[in-house]
């Protein structure tokens, strides 16, 4: 069996908005958004977990809605808006939601956090979605957003 060099596998290209910046990327057409973010763009804040759509460690906001990037082909993201945990804060500071999670010792993936089986990345994205949607979301609006994020 012959394996093509990595660079010659990059036959797909898209332009999309990543954390507010227009971004062009070339990649192998079989890659997921998670793989392209991490391997082709160096955005390692989005984590590999189960890669089965079960853990939420790979959660991003896709056009403002929580999405599991391990289940989305990068080819589907042309012209769309992707927000990762790296894009939530401003001026090098964490988003208040990320700060709150950090203050409580809640790591991103949630595997080792002693709060049931909560998955941080998914919750942060869902919380951020609620903030973007409602500006000052109520507790029920946050809860609804996080419940919906259990995709
Ligand atoms: S890596 Fe677990 S849901 Fe995507």
Tell which atom from ligand 1 comes closest to the C-alpha of 54. Answer: 3
CA–centroid distance, 70 to ligand 1, in Å, is 6
Tell which atom from ligand 1 comes closest to the C-alpha of 71. Answer: 4
CA–centroid distance, 1 to ligand 1, in Å, is 30
Tell which atom from ligand 1 comes closest to the C-alpha of 69. Answer: 4
User: Ligand 1 within 6 A of 51 CB?
Assistant: yes
Give CA–CA dist 44/86, Å, rounded: 9
CA–centroid distance, 51 to ligand 1, in Å, is 4
Residue 65 burial by CB count (10 A; 0-12/13-18/19+): exposed, middle or buried?
middle
Residue 37 is given by DSSP the state I
| pLDDT for res 7 | 80
Domains of the chain in start order, with CATH, are 11-148 (3.10.20.30)
Contact indicator for 82, 15 with CB cutoff of 8 Å: no
Over its length of 151 residues, how does the chain's per-residue pLDDT go in tens digits?
Answer: 777 777 888 999 999 999 999 999 999 999 999 999 999 999 998 988 899 998 888 999 999 999 999 999 999 999 999 999 899 888 889 888 888 878 877 765 555 554 443 455 666 667 766 666 655 666 666 565 555 544 3
Give CA–CA dist 35/55, Å, rounded: 16
Give CA–CA dist 132/46, Å, rounded: 20
Q: Specify the residue with its C-alpha closest to ligand 1, atom 3.
A: 53
Contact indicator for 103, 94 with CB cutoff of 8 Å: no
Structure-block tokens of residue 57? 């460690």
Q: Give the pTM.
A: 0.76
- Count other Cβ atoms within 10 Å, centred on residue 10: 16
Tell which atom from ligand 1 comes closest to the C-alpha of 53. Answer: 3
SS3 51: coil
């Amino acid at each position: 069996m012959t394996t093509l060099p990595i660079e010659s596998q990059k036959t797909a290209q898209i332009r999309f908005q990543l954390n507010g910046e227009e971004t062009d990327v070339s990649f192998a057409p079989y890659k997921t958004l998670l793989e392209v973010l991490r391997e082709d763009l160096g955005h390692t804040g989005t984590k590999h977990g189960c890669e089965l759509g079960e853990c939420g460690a790979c959660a991003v906001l896709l056009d403002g809605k929580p999405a599991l990037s391990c289940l989305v082909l990068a080819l589907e993201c042309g012209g769309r808006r992707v927000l990762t945990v790296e894009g939530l804060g401003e001026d090098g500071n964490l988003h208040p939601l990320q700060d709150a999670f950090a203050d409580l010792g809640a790591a991103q993936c949630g595997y080792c956090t002693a709060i049931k089986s909560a998955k941080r990345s998914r919750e942060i994205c869902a919380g951020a979605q609620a903030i973007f949607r409602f500006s000052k979301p109520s507790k029920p609006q946050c809860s609804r957003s996080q419940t919906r994020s259990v995709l």
